[in-house]
Amino acid sequence: MTLEPEARDSFLIRKLNSLLEVSKALGAEIQLEPLLADILKRASEVTEAERSSFFAYDEASRTLSILVSEDLARGGLRVPLGVGIAGYVAETREPLNVPEAYADPRFNPQSDLQSGFVTRSILCAPVLSHTGRLIGVIQVLNKIDRPSFDRDDESLLAAFASIAGIALDRASLVEAFVEKEKIESSLRLAHDIQMGMLPRRFPKRPEVELFGTLRPARSVGGDFYDFRLAGEELWFVLGDVSGKGIPAALFMAVTKALFGASIEGASSPSAVMSRVNRELFRDNAQSLFVTVFLGRLNLATGELLYTNAGHNPPYRLRNDGGARVPHGDAPPRARRGPLRLHRRRVRGPERRRRGVLGGPARGGARAGGGTGGGARRRGFAPRSRRVRGRRAAVRRHHGPRAPIPRRLSAHGRP
């Protein structure tokens, strides 16, 4: 049937108006399925088709499934890539006009069997993203009052397929943005919870100045500090969990809680460290570890007993401005088997002493009221024995023929 020029112009204007309305809906509608339903409705109107449907492509399974249809529920029909007209169009990424469906060997009558609908003619087009990635397939069925679809219908359906691709691209971006906002909101909440676990009020005692602050590299992290004041004894701990982010933050929470529970009634920092290590080693499938500095300061005598488990060494500052870094570190916590802990006791009754503890947690403590004088080590193996032990550990890990530097120090560094 041939239209007069004026009638044809009026017909094209109506079709272009339908495309314009769909474009407006694209800016007004956020939900994907209502927008696709509107696109399909307009596509059926301008191509004068009885039915329309949209197949979404799943790249993982390489299948197409019904997302929006007038007679089939979502997911009610699933076809592999290359099977049926829709599968063929998805595989070739080229539009296809089929004037007689049952005469085409590529036609799959499964949808007709499920819905009771009789397909006569099909016009199908691929839906691609702005980068050319396959998103799905749009199709219209059975041209009204005509045996098949024409070239104008093909151009119009290609335009609707382009709009559908934009809608799906935008929906993916909106979904990713919403998910990102949820994650960031959760991280902000986790940050507030983690910061709330750390002490903010510090005791005011004439014998000691105590302060700590923490600024994680990300929203949450594995750094922590804590203290316990019981009578004349001040326990304090600084730690840094391996890794960053949520896993480190969870391990940090567990570690901090274990130290808080283990300090009560403990005889020494090394006893606390051994107990915490045993607990951390259990069910540690991710092999996380934590470096810790744990100290106990007697405010009456000024005696400080501490254990360092692989953490940054402390600085011992004197009133004359001198500074000294004690030697020796133990392995990081969460280690199998018994530990050889390095402990140190600092005491003396005459000269005032200060200690500054620093690390990723940016914590600090200054202890006064004690005096200078002798310092006594406990738990240190002789330097030669420690070197031999480190060489043996390297050979156990890398094999008996592992190359070892001749000048391997007691700290494991050549």
Taking residue 190's Cβ as centre, other Cβ atoms within 10 Å add up to 17
Question: Among 40-44, 106-110, 362-366, where is mean pLDDT lowest?
Answer: 362-366
pLDDT in tens, 7-66: 555 656 666 666 666 665 555 555 677 777 877 888 888 888 898 888 889 889 999 988
pLDDT band at 323 (very low <50, low <70, confident <90, very high): confident
pLDDT band at 344 (very low <50, low <70, confident <90, very high): low
Q: Are 36 and 167 in contact (CB under 8 A)?
A: yes
> What is residue 349's predicted lDDT score, i.e. its pLDDT?
39
> What is the rounded (10 degree) CA torsion for 268, 272, 275, 276?
-160
Q: How far is residue 289's CA from residue 292's CA, in Å, rounded to a whole number?
A: 10
Q: How far is residue 135's CA from residue 129's CA, in Å, rounded to a whole number?
A: 6
pLDDT band at 137 (very low <50, low <70, confident <90, very high): very high
Domains of the chain: 5-171 (3.30.450.40), 192-380 (3.60.40.10), 382-414 (no CATH)
Task: Kindly report the average pLDDT of the chain as a whole number.
Answer: 75
pLDDT band at 365 (very low <50, low <70, confident <90, very high): very low
CA angle 81, 84, 90 (to 5 degrees): 40
Q: Is 280 exposed, middle or buried (0-12, 13-18, 19+ CB in 10 A)?
A: buried
> What is residue 26's predicted lDDT score, i.e. its pLDDT?
57
Q: Are 15 and 128 in contact (CB under 8 A)?
A: no
- Residue whose entry in the numeric block shows the structure tokens 């909440």: 189
The arrangement of strands across the sheet holding 323-324 comes to 323-324, 315-318, 353-356
371/158: higher pLDDT: 158
pLDDT in tens, 206-218: 888 888 888 877 7
pLDDT in tens, 252-263: 888 888 898 888
> What is residue 358's predicted lDDT score, i.e. its pLDDT?
45
pTM tops 0.85: no
> What is residue 356's predicted lDDT score, i.e. its pLDDT?
44
